[in-house]
A and B are shown apart, each in its own frame.
Chain A
Amino acid sequence: MYLCSMYSKELLKGTISAIILKLLAENEKMYGYQIARKVKELSDNKIMIKEGSLYPALHKLKEDGLVTVETVNIGKRVRRYYSLTPAGVIVQKEKVTEIEDFITTLGNVLFKS
């Protein structure tokens, strides 16, 4: 429903926070639209994070103290830049390692005979 992609929803479930944290680790600070665009670009349009999933996830990460927000006024609107907190840097590494390990294990189970 929220993660729109060529992959099934079940496969991508649970990866959105890892994707966001990883992008923020590689780019000092990003705003929501920029994150959505970047994911689309990096995945060759195969993963498109819907806004209905992106912002709730970002706000949850902020609530958990993993990201921090800096606001910049652009004319009459406010742009909210998200960046990792020190705790976010640690969790990001953990999450990415966990997914890497999971992919390896999955490969062993599914493709090694």
Chain B
Amino acid sequence: MSKLTDEHIEFIADQVNKSKIDSNELKEDLIDHFCCIIEDDIRLGKSFEESYNRAYQIVCPNGFDEIHQETILLLTSKNIIIMKKLLFSLGFITTVFLVTSFLFKALHWPGAGSILIVASFLLIFVFVPLVLLYFYKREFSKYISYKLKYVFGFLGLALLLTGSLFKVMHWPGSGLLFLVSVAVINFGFLPFLFYRLYRKSVVRESEEHRSIKWEYITGFLGAVLFLTASIFKLFHWPGSGTMLVSSVVIINFGFLPLLFIRLYKKSAV
């Protein structure tokens, strides 16, 4: 016989329903589990509020989402393995096509263009989306900025690769494609990518993570300047040299030292 009132159970259910958990089975399990712990505590004379807080600390000190993530990870482990196999196979096929097309192109054999088009199609519309989908599925986040990172990442990379194909094939519009791709990467993908990395690093407060924050900031600035300089160079616009030098200085004296120091410390532990 339950010692909890309907209001108590509804309160617990509300808390569980507010989480990201979408499986009704897992919700039912957790609600019952909370009720059991709380009932035991109430029997010992504790109040409902006190018991609920204690139960929360026991069951999910890092939030309900952790259990949700762990469940999805376990349930999708087979799919992840299948996806990995698919990725490696596609990566192999795409690379073979790309290398073959370069060989045909270099030796001026007929068909180089067609092979390159097939390779680019595989790369842009099959391999790259699958790689991004794989990483997207492996992480779990409720933040919009996180999802947008993948959307802009795909768009930027797809445009960049299409631009490269147009350039190699001497089709018109490659410059415009490069311009749009760099704009998408600089103003869409990179800000979201580094913002999420930055948020992650500021959550942790240790000295090590403060240096990671600077690693991301310099990495972001270096990448944006480098890509912008490349586009300016391509269009023969003024200022590309200054930007290129600045980006290399930032990367060489900011980003890379911080990155390698962190990796060195990590490997020395």
A contact set with B: CB distance below 8 Å: 2, 31-33, 36, 51-53, 55-60, 62-63, 69, 71, 74-80
CB atoms of A78 and B28 under 8 A apart: yes
Contacts of A69 in B (CB 8 A): 25
Chain B residues closer than 8 Å to A2, beta-carbon distance? 70
A-B contact pairs, 10 of them (CB 8 A): A31-B32, A51-B30, A51-B58, A53-B70, A56-B75, A60-B74, A75-B6, A77-B13, A77-B31, A80-B29
Q: Which residues of A contact B33 (CB under 8 A)?
A: 32-33, 36, 51, 55
B2, B9, B58, B67: which contacts A56 (Cβ < 8 A)? B67
Given known A51-B33, A51-B58, A55-B71, contact A80–B9 (CB-CB < 8 A): no
Asked if B28 and A56 sit within 8 Å, CB to CB, the answer is no
Query: Bound state CA distance, A75 and B36, in angstroms?
Result: 13
Cβ contact within 8 Å between B71 and A32: no
Q: Given A78-B28, A80-B32, 4 other A-B contacts at CB below 8 A?
A: A32-B33, A55-B26, A55-B67, A77-B9
A9, chain B: closest CB distance, angstroms: 14
Closest CB-CB distance, A99 to chain B, in whole Å? Answer: 20
- Cβ of B60 within 8 Å of any chain A Cβ, yes or no, is yes
Which DSSP category, helix, strand, loop or mixed, fits chain B's interface?
A: helix
Q: Shortest beta-carbon distance, A43 to chain B, in Å?
A: 17
For the complex, would chain A's binding face be called helix, strand, loop or mixed by DSSP majority?
helix
0 or 1 for each of B124-166: is its CB under 8 Å from A? (1 = yes): 0000000000000000000000000000000000000000000
With A31-B32, A78-B31, A80-B29 in contact, is A59–B66 under 8 Å at CB?
Answer: no
In contact, B26 and A59 (Cβ under 8 angstroms) = yes
Given A33-B33, A51-B30, A51-B33, also A59-B9 (CB < 8 A) = no
Closest 10 pairs (CB-CB, A-B): A33-B36, A56-B71, A60-B74, A56-B70, A76-B9, A78-B28, A51-B59, A75-B2, A56-B74, A52-B67
Q: Considering the complex, which residues of chain B in the window 45-65 have a beta carbon less than 8 Å from any beta carbon of chain A?
A: 58-60
B267 interfacial contact with A, CB 8 Å? no
Known: A33-B36, A77-B2. A52 touches B28 (CB 8 A): no
Given contacts A52-B70, A76-B10, contact A59 B25 (CB under 8 A): yes
The verdict on B193 contacting chain A, using a C-beta distance below 8 Å, is no
B206 proximal to A (CB < 8 A): no
Give min CB distance, A64 to chain B, whole Å.
Answer: 9
Does B35 count as interface, using CB distance less than 8 angstroms?
Answer: yes
| Interchain CB contact under 8 A, B9 and A32 | no
A71–B31 Cα distance when bound, in Å, is: 13
Write the chain B residue with the least CB distance to A48: B58
In the complex, A32→B25 CA distance in Å? 12
Scoring B6, B10, B29, B71 by chain A CB atoms within 10 A of each residue's CB, the highest score goes to B29
With beta carbons under 8 angstroms apart, the residue of B2, B32, B37, B60 that contacts A52 is B60
- B197 CB contacts on chain A under 8 angstroms: none
Assess whether A51 is in contact with B32, with CB atoms less than 8 Å apart.
Answer: no
The answer to whether B75 touches A63, judged by C-beta atoms less than 8 angstroms apart, is yes
Are A58 and B29 CB-contacts (below 8 A) given A51-B58, A52-B66, A63-B75? yes
From B32, B58, B67, B71, A79 is in contact (CB under 8 Å) with B32
